[in-house]
Chains A and B, each alone.
Chain A
Amino acid sequence: KAGVTQTPRYLIKTRGQQVTLSCSPISGHRSVSWYQQTPGQGLQFLFEYFSETQRNKGNFPGRFSGRQFSNSRSEMNVSTLELGDSALYLCASSLVGQGGSGANVLTFGAGSRLTVL
């Protein structure tokens, strides 16, 4: 069973540019979440998508956006890159139904490491 696939694994951009990162969840998983990992701030939640709808959003500026497609694949976009956006961006998928509560077991991808120069 294939895991969560993130592309690209590494990329370098300059300030002011924009970047798009892609995530393919585990087959059958309908929820995709994105996290930013930095040495200073640790792991911070960006947003979660379920059935093409953003269901939850973290405390990040509007430069950070995302979307989910009908096949559950997700992309996140960062516009007008800043040096502080350099980070490992992790995508995670989970097999959950819509709404309700319960343990949130996430399966993470290996991440996309973004360096902003």
Chain B
Amino acid sequence: GDSVTQMEGPVTLSEEAFLTINCTYTATGYPSLFWYVQYPGEGLQLLLKATKADDKGSNKGFEATYRKETTSFHLEKGSVQVSDSAVYFCALSDRGGGRRALTFGSGTRLQVQP
């Protein structure tokens, strides 16, 4: 079945450092890929998405490129802020058969220190 693997956290960075959170996936079809973010005490918010190979999703300075050849969707940001501290989830949606369930990775906690 489908699966998503994320790097384990926590990831601790200083403000203005470069961020990479690795995400790889296994899927039988041609999934859409997502990054969601969860701030303390809140639900998940969509950060960015990509629906086909080589698509780049971007939002709020975060970027991720859908790499079919390496089955990856790594999240990057050039300069993190303290306000970026949260848990980040990589997810995929199998588009085959109209399924709408998301398969999530285990989440990566990011802590940004001033």
Judged by a CB distance under 8 angstroms, whether A15 is at the interface is: no
Contact in complex: A100, B46 (CB < 8 Å): no
CB distance from B47 to the nearest CB of A (A): 11
Determine whether the beta carbon of B101 is less than 8 Å from that of A56.
yes
Q: A54 → chain B, closest Cβ, in Å?
A: 12
The residues in B between 60 and 114 inclusive whose CB is less than 8 angstroms from any CB of A are: 89, 93, 95-107
Q: How many residues of A contact B (CB 8 A)?
A: 29
Closest residue of B by beta carbon distance from A94: B100
Partner of A56, one of B46, B96, B99, B105: B99
Shortest distance in angstroms between B97's beta carbon and chain A's nearest beta carbon?
A: 8
A33 pairs with B43, CB closer than 8 A: no
Residues of chain A within 8 A of B42, CB atoms compared: 110
Contact B43 A101 (CB under 8 A): no
Question: Is B17 engaged at the interface, CB distance under 8 Å to the other chain?
Answer: no
* Chain B positions near chain A (C-beta within 8 angstroms): 32, 34, 36, 41-46, 49, 51, 89, 93, 95-107
26 contacts between A and B (CB under 8 A): A6-B43, A31-B100, A33-B101, A42-B105, A43-B89, A43-B104, A45-B102, A45-B103, A48-B101, A90-B44, A92-B43, A92-B44, A96-B100, A100-B98, A101-B96, A102-B51, A103-B49, A103-B51, A104-B95, A104-B102, A105-B34, A108-B36, A108-B43, A108-B45, A110-B41, A111-B43
